[in-house]
Amino acid sequence: MIKNKKILITGGNSGIGLFAIVNLLKTKNNLYVVIKSELRRNEFLKTIEKYFDKNYHSKYLNIIENCDLSNLENIKKIKDYFISKKIFLDVVVLNAGLQYTGSFYPKVSKQGVELTFAVNHLAHFYLVNILKDLVRDKEESRIIITSSDVHDPNSSGGNIGKKAGLNNLVDFKKKVTGQFLNFNADESYKNSKLCNILFAKELAKKLKLSSSKISVITWAPGLVIPNDAGFFRYSKRFNLFGYLIFSKVAKNILGISESIENAGKILSEIVFDSKFNNIDYVHLSNKLISFKKHKLVESKVSDEANNSELAAKLWILSEDICRSFGFATFNI
């Protein structure tokens, strides 16, 4: 059993992240969980205490609270937390994500950035940039990003509805800040997952140039439908009946969805699996292989996600957007 590792996870208070934490806590490593509000914190601890007594979890579980990732101001709080405690990290798990498919209008962050892009991509992009020097440069160190195979227009899921596509970033800044040209909530989510992979590939390239041993991993958990709506909380509001029918059919009739417990277990295994030591970059996909049965395999990404020029351009655009709001610490 691997011990004394320090693991940061976003999106850990519910859904896949919550069950990853339940599994990770059993390993007696130190977990640092970013949580949006006191209400979410209390709900999270109530759930954790169903699995571990307070003395146990208080020894290994650390909460960075009141940290809304949609607000770039809060992300510096995370760095300040680790610096103040002189903590270096071994693993960073970027798991926070949202979607609000069904809405006709964009939601925005405090900085006025479309919310899907702000949370799923920009927050994690900025967080990695300011935390990079606090991640140990060791073979078993890794940065893990929860993406989705819907980034690929040819995947099942990716080929339903509006497809992912960044159009070489032409007018993309206007799509995510300010003008929100031709907004489509479904497309915004798929594009954010495409951004995850482009960001990861460019990050791996930059780390390799500096001879870093840190691995970069993206993974797609498959279709996961939490019982409490969780990740689908916004979509459920916009179309409750559609959500209930979709969830029932996907789970019980088609058998295409993965359980939230299994997805969380898979994420916890990626954190420690030695075959991902010092590998530059890999994309993993939790593929459906039969009724209600999935298997995690190394997988190809879409042609657009493989475009190294686009990845470099997205990195520069992401820096530009952060800088435009006064957030300018980039050292990768």
What region, left, alpha or beta, does residue 210 occupy, with left being phi > 0 and alpha being psi -120 to 50 degrees?
alpha
How many helices (H) does the chain have, and how many strands (E)?
12, 8
Cα 199 from chain centroid (whole Å) = 12
Angle between helix 185-209 and helix 308-324 axes, rounded to 10 deg: 100
**Res. 194: pLDDT tops 70:** yes
To the nearest 10°, the Cα dihedral for 220, 278, 123, 210?
A: -140
Assess whether pLDDT exceeds 70 at residue 178. yes
Nearest in space to 307 (alpha carbons), one of 119, 107, 169:
169
Q: What is the pLDDT of residue 226?
A: 63
pLDDT tens readout for residues 287-314: 876 666 668 999 999 999 999 999 999 9
Decide if pLDDT at 246 tops 60: no
For the chain, give the mean pLDDT.
89
Lowest mean pLDDT among 81-90, 144-153, 256-265: 256-265
Give, in order, the Cα–Cα distances in Å from 137 to each of 89, 131, 211: 9, 12, 9
pLDDT single digits (tens) 220-242: 997 766 655 444 454 445 454 44
From 196, 194, 216, select the one nearest 207 (Cα to Cα).
Answer: 216
Q: What pLDDT score was predicted for residue 222? A: 78
pTM, to two decimals: 0.91
Residue 236: the pLDDT is 46
Task: Please tell me the distance from the alpha carbon of residue 220 to that of residue 323, in angstroms, as a whole number.
Answer: 30
pLDDT of residue 225: 63
What value does the mean pLDDT take over residues 204-223?
94
Share of the chain above pLDDT 70, in %: 86
Bin 35: left if φ > 0, else alpha if -120 < ψ < 50, else beta.
Answer: beta
Q: pLDDT for 2-29, tens place per residue?
A: 678 999 999 999 999 999 999 999 999 9
Tokens of 243: 């959500």
Higher-scoring residue by pLDDT: 291, 173 = 173
Residue 199 pLDDT > 80, yes or no? yes
Q: What DSSP string describes 222-267? A: -SB--TT-GGGHHHHHH-HHHHHHHHHIIIIIS--PBPHHHHHHHH
What are 290's two structure tokens? 């039969």
Q: What domains are defined for the chain?
A: 6-324 (3.40.50.720)
pLDDT, one tens digit per residue, over 77-132 is 999 999 999 999 999 999 999 988 888 899 999 999 999 999 999 999 999 999 99
Q: Smallest Cα–Cα separation from 285: which of 199, 182, 164, 157?
A: 157
